[in-house]
Amino acid sequence: MDAGSGRVLAEQDADAHLEPASLTKIMTAYIAFQELSKGKLHVDDMVTISPNAAKAEGSRMFAEPGSSVAIENLLKGMIIQSGNDASIALAEHIAGNEAAFAEIMNQNATRLGMVNTHYVNSMGLPNPQHYASARDLAILSRALIADFPDYYKWHSIKEFTFNNIKQPNRNRLLWQDPTVDGVKTGHTSGAGYCLVASAVRNNMRLIAVVMGAKSDRIRATANADLLNYGFRYYESRPLYRANEKLTEAHVWKGAESLVPAGLKQDFIVTFPRGQYDSLKASMEVGNKSIAPVQAGDKLGEVKVSYNDEVIARQDLVALETVEKGGIFKRLFDEIAMQIKK
């Protein structure tokens, strides 16, 4: 997946329900980053480690029960060391318990459009009702990187020491490819070896997801192959910038007859390398908008095609608000609308 445009460049069984193992922690990190960005958490807040968190099975950061650990260290212990104890401690601190935290995870998954994902815990221990798809994990990783770039940087740290125990990041691509800066590994006997990897080359970011590999080496090689394929055969460019006027739309019964129209976010298009001149852009603007029109209301659509196939589309929205016009303007436009029918 291209992180800028969201376009998927290669896929196989992308919507299958699979065990995500510690790829689950991408969502746990996403929610913690949300809380930090809202000011509800702070990196130096201290969290008391519960016995439940301290006795977590699997990979751990080795936080002692009853000890106090800073949020930043818990996040690094979860992201870099893949600590299940850190994941549980964060979940309990944010939501009170893991079940309540899982509800928050599922709410965010729904909001992000992750239609083939369901969480029951914060760290990824196996459960029949705990699953995700490769596509959903790419969607989540794209949001994590876009929404929280400052905190995302922790995913590129190669090792972390806590409680005098140094542990490496299990993402071996961080050592093999300097363009890779994340995201997360996962492994259980049922899930196999999983990895979400992201890299930036020439201002283009790609996200690769591999699940169910038979070894650490195979998952790293498969992710590297996907990234190299995407960078070799595709390129991305911003065609239009957010909040720039692209056209105008007619407004009936408004204080103004025209409203400037543009995009809510940058329109980035991913296409086969060297084929920029073959792209065709078109705009469709509706003529049935009736005041009041609020800034952000959909007015039409922008499409980009390559070889007669639509490869990108985005809503054309009002860039300003248009209030209702006076009574005579409304009456005049009502007559005009009837004539145009």
Is position 25 annotated as part of the catalytic site? yes
| Active-site option among 82, 87, 141, 198 | 82
Q: Dump the DSSP string for 37-66.
A: HTTSS-TT-EEEPPHHHHT--SS---PPTT
- How far is residue 247's CA from residue 66's CA, in Å, rounded to a whole number? 61
Matching residue, tokens 């002692």: 64
The answer to whether the CB of 84 falls within 8 A of the CB of 125 is yes
In degrees, to the nearest 5, what angle opens at C-alpha 19 toward C-alphas 125 and 94? 45
Q: Cβ distance 69 to 49 under 8 Å?
A: yes
Closest CA to 231 of 14, 3, 15: 3
The amino acid at 202: N
22 is catalytic: yes
Judge whether 82 counts as a catalytic residue: yes
Dihedral (CA of 296, 301, 305, 311) sign: positive
* Catalytic residue IDs: 22, 25, 82
